[in-house]
Structure 1
């Protein structure tokens, strides 16, 4: 199990290296191709590795907002070096979990999207989350105490 500190540091390292918090630009900067496909009503995205080449597939049924955080979640699987092939984010598993690979991928997504953000620039938590493309279901992954210091 990866620590919260390791995940936060890794997210910062990736953003610093890519020069952006945008998950799509991070894919481009790190050579991880992303594709769109009709994944049905439930699956939003998945990360896979074929012949040692990682890629992310996003659902054509997602909104732009959903694709942005889905891509960030799948980047979390990649950079946390999860061994499974074809982990997926689905509409039915978007909830808080406090351990395991889904926790790590969600924590990475949130840390990546919040890196370098000053919480004092926003009047409400909801404004900050919307600006950073963080869905409401992922709020519990935010360490508000560290963010507000």
Structure 2
């Protein structure tokens, strides 16, 4: 199952694209703490999953994106300790895992249903509304039928 299909199935099942609500539905605990410069982190301890968000440094406009990114880690690569991979290894999988989490966040926040509700609106405007940094818009997999309707 690719990321876009996984996101679509989640939205269909839980009837929401709100990453905070989805985390609650999946029994993922959201905590807020000073992370010393990182906006968010995902942690699996024993069988519990945690999303930790730095509410001091994370811009309010990006809270949804940060939560969605960490939710991507929790649901797509739940057993990968990305912080350890990046800090202690030169493993290429660290970049792959981060790209996957970013793709998940973009697909969740700029999902096909949301885009269909706002046809004719610039994808950059929609990204601003949802807190998606513009550099990640290119990760959105646009279905062929939407290409003519979306404004880039």
TM-score interval, normalised by the smaller of the two chains: 0.7 to 0.9
In structure 1, stretches of 5+ residues that fail to align are 89-98
Give matches, 1:1-149, under 5 Å: 6-40=2-36, 42-60=37-55, 61-85=57-81, 87=83, 100-115=96-111, 116-117=113-114, 118=116, 121-144=119-142, 146=144, 147-148=146-147
Displacement after TM superposition at 1:83 (Å):
2.2
Q: Which runs of 4+ in 1 moved over 3 A?
A: 144-147
Measure the CA separation in 1 of the matches of 2:67 and 2:74: 10
User: Relative contact order (C-alpha < 8 Å, sep 6+): which is higher?
Assistant: 1
CA RMSD of aligned residues (A): 2.2
TM-score by length of 2: 0.77
Larger strand percent: 1
Alignment-derived partner of residue 91 in structure 1: none
SS at 1:43 equivalent: coil
Unaligned runs of 5+ residues in structure 2 are: 85-94
* Count of matched residue pairs: 134
